[in-house]
A and B are shown apart, each in its own frame.
Chain A
């Protein structure tokens, strides 16, 4: 247990931050994105969120019991809820219930507690769970029910109507379809569309590409509007975290900057189908949730400012490269997992120099002079 055996000494000032407070702030920052996601992609997100949160708390309690730690003390840090929320954003709304269940199991057990619990994980649990699911269940993980536009009239998943919610429930719990009075209108195996990037990647004329000229329509539920609004709400949440001082600017700024620079460099008008425009890379994909919420996971990212900049740049490069030249499409989670592995090394190489000591450059120079 974390208690101190020796006599308590200064400082005695009341602490200001707390782990539950930090986690609650992150959850608050995710709120606009949650509303936006539900509005555009149906109540399936809420169902996923409910499954992951409930099961997550349960699993966390079980694991803590098994590890012989006080259960409620550790449940109180709310970290599992953040993991559950981030995982729910990554899952396709309308995926069957066992996707969310196995996802939170992987995140909680293999992502977190195998390494020693909160703060000791070397990978981001949500990213790890997402990538595992993508490899285990590729079909379910890439079947997205896209909102609105004319060609999707057969999938009414409007979260505000009872019928839409019922459809979402039927998508998540397939056995509910047996009780349905009307025949179930959606055949999930029909679509294989994740983020719009997929379409660009294979340059296949598809429904999204057809919807693309419709442009950004704020008050209609279109796929493109949905993705862009979602990205904007993630950015808003990220800015809120920056303002509250929960995350530092280094990682999100570098990731966004590197992705922007790379996509601008490779962008050729008329060749959107191959490389995509910078706008598409930033706002029609999961770049922003990755940059603001997943890459900034403190446990799996380096601690010094320089280390964070290097880490962010590596993530940006990996993200863009996997998207364009790799075979996996949703590259954010993969890029973050890959760079998570480097973060202990980055941490060690970029450790700050305390005041009053020669700077790193000076130390290198003197070492070099000695060998020369």
Chain B
């Protein structure tokens, strides 16, 4: 039994001290400790033996088809701007961003468009449509398909002007990022341009933590393209106007740390000594604990800021981008190159060679598996993403997306057997292992009982929607309860309830309220009318209009004749009648509409 759970003291104080004793890079004890977290076997050396293989040079050729889903990000679908049969060049825009919140899509290679509404198989269950982009594919799973011609032709003059980014304005740079169709490449796929538009950013954090086991895409990127990453970070810093830019890397990535530190030292030495302090570019080592790479978790570790539930980090003046995004920004700004390829880890014990590859977006996974030599007899499960937060690829045509950082061909060494009818999980023994590893300080066992028995109020009260679905609780559970599955299902049920039943209920309450208001208004006019009628009658009889005697000292300034008063009252009656009739008509109309 390995020691998976970490105690606060060991992680924060003892381990850095031990690392310093042995002369290795350790993190600072001044960092803020992440509550919980696990330290599973990383399996990262598998795919770090070789350098990044680029595509389509060398042994990794072009796939015959590229499948490009219209939604690879959080936000509205992109709108195709090509039609079937068109020839597209590499880097040509094929689907435009849908409004400000959209992300545009470019052709990764040249070829003919063979379909613009190719139906992707549903990638995953619709557990959590709001959080994960892949769920949305279930509803809108249209994709553009390009039959590649192998020429990899770039239309001349398509690239942007090669102007130094230091002289361009932040807005211009942001537009360049928007045009390149960049979204967060770490997992959620949040459109980068929107994040960059946030104001009052104090700290920029570049996330090189990559805490999930097996995945090494970011580590390989930092190892081999450190200068591009740093350059991208500086561009982002210029766009958002942050005072300091901190790069956070897990302390066990020695080569990546060396490379990044080298580039930072170089930049600092090039600067004038007077400006060196102002650049605010620094590297911070963070403890290698899963999930330290989660956005809010990383911010908590590095700055101690606790982002309130339901808020985004930009609300507290912190912006977080992954190193892959930083590099994409660099390429977009410096070379005008849109996001058409990314670094993906091919790993798992079912592969003959585990390696990092720079692949085109839209490459079917079957192509990559052929390249890495998959042993189908050992393949237990094919995962896109890591073993803790990834999802199962539904078939071999599943494309690589802008957010796919890993392709894990898991054998039985990597993958836990699924909980099924023949392999049930045990009852919860309330051991609290889950509570000690939860990075959000939830009580997963309480949440489990609430979720399992569908006590929606109790689930929400216990912070169901604060759960980041990192899966740490399910990994340490001795009863092997698929806790995250239960939470996802409960979230989906609550969301559906909110969407339909509750909405209808509140709508009906609102309508009733409106109706009551209109009825009240009619009554009010009626009362006014009665009063006026009464006054008219009183005048007709000749009674005084006011019951209280007029104070004798102040003489009435305006002396109206009875006739004038009568006329005024009649006018008022007419006005009120008209208003009442109008309201009545309106009310009838809305009731008719309701029926």
Chain A residues within 8 Å of B, Cβ to Cβ: 1-4, 6-19, 21-22, 25, 73, 77, 79, 117-120, 244-246, 248, 298-299, 303-304, 351-357
Contact = CB atoms under 8 A, between A and B. Distances in A.
A15 B476 contact: yes
Interface in B433-475: 433, 435-436, 439-443, 445-446, 462-463, 466, 469, 471, 474-475
Contacts of A19: 426, 429, 478-479
Which are the 10 A-B pairs with shortest beta-carbon distances? A11-B471, A356-B309, A17-B478, A354-B463, A119-B429, A8-B418, A13-B387, A11-B388, A2-B424, A298-B431
In this complex, which of A12, A14, A19, A303 has the most chain B Cβ atoms within 10 angstroms of its Cβ?
Answer: A12
Contacts of B482: 4, 8-9
A59 B552 CA distance: 104
A22 B477 CA distance: 11
B481 A18 contact: no
A1 B421 contact: yes
B429 A15 contact: no
B421 A3 contact: yes
A141 B429 CA distance: 30
Contacts of B392: 8-9, 12
Contacts of B4: 16-17
A17 B385 CA distance: 24
Given A245-B7, A303-B430, A355-B440, 17 more contacts: A3-B420, A3-B424, A4-B486, A6-B125, A7-B125, A8-B392, A9-B125, A9-B391, A9-B482, A10-B471, A16-B475, A19-B478, A119-B428, A119-B430, A244-B3, A298-B430, A355-B309
A4 B443 contact: no
Contact of A355 (B40, B306, B475, B484): B306
Given A11-B475, A19-B478, A352-B435, A77 B309 contact: no
B477 A354 contact: no
A21 B426 CA distance: 13
Interface stretch (B12-20, B62-70, B263-271, B408-416): B408-416
Contact of A17 (B410, B425, B477): B477
Interface residues of B, number: 76
B485 A9 contact: yes
Given A119-B427, A356-B309, A10 B387 contact: yes
B391 A10 contact: yes
Contacts of A18: 478-480
Contacts of A7: 124-125
Interface of B: 1-5, 7, 35, 40, 124-125, 127, 213, 296, 300, 306-311, 381, 383, 385, 387-392, 410, 414-416, 418-421, 423-433, 435-436, 439-443, 445-446, 462-463, 466, 469, 471, 474-482, 484-486, 488-489
Given A73-B424, A298-B432, A25 B486 contact: no
A12 B463 contact: no
Given A22-B431, A248-B432, A353-B441, A16 B2 contact: yes
15 contacts: A3-B419, A7-B124, A8-B420, A11-B416, A12-B381, A15-B480, A17-B478, A79-B429, A119-B429, A303-B446, A304-B443, A355-B306, A356-B307, A356-B308, A356-B440
B435 A15 contact: no
